[in-house]
Amino acid sequence: MAKEGKLVEAITSMEEDFAQWYTDVVRKADLIDYTSVKGCMVLKPAGYAIWELIQKQLDERFKETGVENVYLPMFIPESLLQKEKDHVEGFAPEVAWVTHGGINELEERLCVRPTSETLFCDFYKNDIQSYRDLPKLYNQWCSVVRWEKETRPFLRSREFLWQEGHTAHATAEEAQERTEQMLHLYADFCEEVLAMPVIRGRKTDKEKFAGAKATYTIEALMHDGKALQSGTSHNFGDGFAKAFGIQYQDKDNSLKYVHQTSWGMTTRLIGAIIMVHGDESGLVLPPMIAPVQVMITPIMQKKEGVLEKAAEIKEALKEFRVRVDASDKSPGFKFAEQEMRGIPLRIEIGPKDIEAGQAVLVRRDTREKYQVAIDEIVTMVAKLLPEIQKDMYDRALAHREEHTHTALDYDEFQNIITNRQGFVKAMWCGDTACEEAIKEETGATTRCMPFEQEQIGNVCVRCGKPAKAMVYFGKAY
């Protein structure tokens, strides 16, 4: 750790080098550590605690919609993976293989799951027999392995944590409804819990999940103007069902194929929180996702009664996630460390405060200070935390709006991508060749075709052909 008083100076300025700022914050805030396993990270307690809160709150929302948790194996036989052609081709470059069990070579290679569609299909073909067995609404919390060439903490690693929902339905309409329902659940979670505004929409065919009929996404804008895909929901139609023979007997005794969906969120959400809300002093955590919402910092704590008063305040605030920093570090270093870790509220209490019957409350997001009577601290904390949550969302939304541009022709589009940061809204003809040309010429990709379509022109921004959709473009992580 840096010497006292030097903690913030150890962070590269985000305006100077955003990528290095991000890495510095991740390390200095003690969220992750690197390992001897290339491309894999240790999630340290401070980082894992954020994931636990994400997991807990998402899981509650899933279960409110009827979803149940299951767990399937992490190994997939190669023959099983090969059953859905588009799916296996889409994941082939990232698959890790197990070839030996102990010293013996396996009769068939086993894939370490990059995702679990094929395993769920193999399970469903026996678990589903009748219309009475439907729908199946399952989710699993697990890790997956994808052999990424370039890695970055939280955003891209060879093993990461996620949840993957897999559902099976009697009709195409039910599957589509569930696909959109889960996407909106993700979007609401990001906005209400992570204070992170997102764009909701559909991926183009080029960008959709391998083997999916349609992929829907939520896209967030980071502080540096790059987009981050923050959650996806896929409608598989009956393609996987036909490949794996998943049929059910309907009420009229006919055999029909099920229609499936899949949806997932990962630990990259922690990276999104950092890049949307962080500042030059480190993390800024939304209260709803902060492992420690309030840190009580005793001043001159060796003086009689100071630690006792801090403990009393902690007990009064027990409905919140609260701690006392009674370490032997200087108050100034404690403040810098707490800011680095993004703790939403700090309470300062010392001998003079106790004598005056008050304490000082400090917001992490704005650094505003409030002198509050000790017997009013609980009321003030209950008032400030929701305000901080809302203000953080509003600032993130204002940043996104300020960095969302409209392009009516290709010269304007290229100029925005080259010289400005953020999303670019433009019309598109629907041609994949045109989409690929835009990426090659500008580095921008189609992020999504938003549900809320705008008619900002009649022709494609690049080729001038009749437009089929308004698309959000941007450079992305």
Distance (Å) of CA 187 to CA 191, 217, 232, 439: 6, 9, 10, 26
Q: Can you tell me whether residue 325 is helix, strand or coil? A: coil
Contact 477, 446 (CB under 8 A): no
Quickly tell me which residue has 């929902």 as its tokens: 165
Determine the Cα–Cα distance for residues 227 and 9; give it in Å rounded to an integer. Answer: 28
- State the virtual CA torsion across 385, 286, 59, 135 in degrees, nearest 10: 110
C-alpha distance from residue 96 to each of 36, 86, 154 (Å): 18, 18, 19
CATH of 17-277, one of 3.90.650.10, 3.30.465.10, 3.30.930.10, 3.20.20.330: 3.30.930.10
Are the CB atoms for 202 and 215 separated by under 8 Å? yes
Question: From CA 112, how far away is CA 115, in angstroms rounded?
Answer: 9
Residue 56 burial (10 A CB sphere; 0-12, 13-18, 19+): exposed
Extents of the domains making up the chain = 17-277, 294-384, 404-474
User: Residue 144: which of 189, 111, 171, 183 has the closest Cα?
Assistant: 111
Angle between helices 172-192 and 45-64 (to 10 degrees): 140
Rounded to the nearest 10 degrees, what angle do helices 306-316 and 377-402 cross at? 70
β-partners of residue 264 are 164, 232
Give the span between the Cα atoms of 354 and 374, in whole angstroms.
Answer: 8
- Residues 320 and 336 sit within 8 Å (Cβ to Cβ): no
For residues 260 and 76, what is the distance between their CA atoms, to the nearest angstrom? 19
- CB-CB neighbours of 76 under 10 Å: 23
Q: Can you give the pLDDT at residue 88?
A: 67
Report the CATH superfamily, name and number, of domain 294-384: Anticodon-binding domain (3.40.50.800)
Do residues 286 and 190 make contact, with C-beta atoms less than 8 angstroms apart? no
Chunked mean pLDDT (size 10), the chain, 477 residues: 50 94 96 94 97 98 98 95 75 90 96 95 97 98 93 94 98 98 98 98 95 96 97 97 97 97 98 98 98 97 93 98 95 94 98 96 98 98 98 98 98 96 97 97 98 95 97 97
Contact status, residue 462 vs residue 471, Cβ threshold 8 Å: no
CATH superfamily of 404-474: C-terminal domain of ProRS (3.30.110.30)
pLDDT of residue 82: 86
Pairing of strands 294-298, 345-349: parallel
Quote the pLDDT of residue 10.
78
Task: State how far the alpha carbon of 134 is from the alpha carbons of 117, 210, 247, in Å.
Answer: 18, 25, 11
pLDDT computed for residue 81 by the predictor: 86
Q: In sequence order, what are the residues at sequence separation of 6 or more whose Cβ sits closer than 8 angstroms to the Cβ of residue 62?
A: 139, 163, 165, 185
Cα 201 from Cα 215, distance rounded (Å): 9
Asked if 74 and 142 count as a contact pair (C-beta separation under 8 A), the reply is: yes
What span, in angstroms and rounded, lies between the C-alpha atoms of 231 and 276? 16
Alpha helices in 330-376 (DSSP H): 331-340, 351-356
Q: Using DSSP, state whether 74 is helix, strand or coil.
A: coil
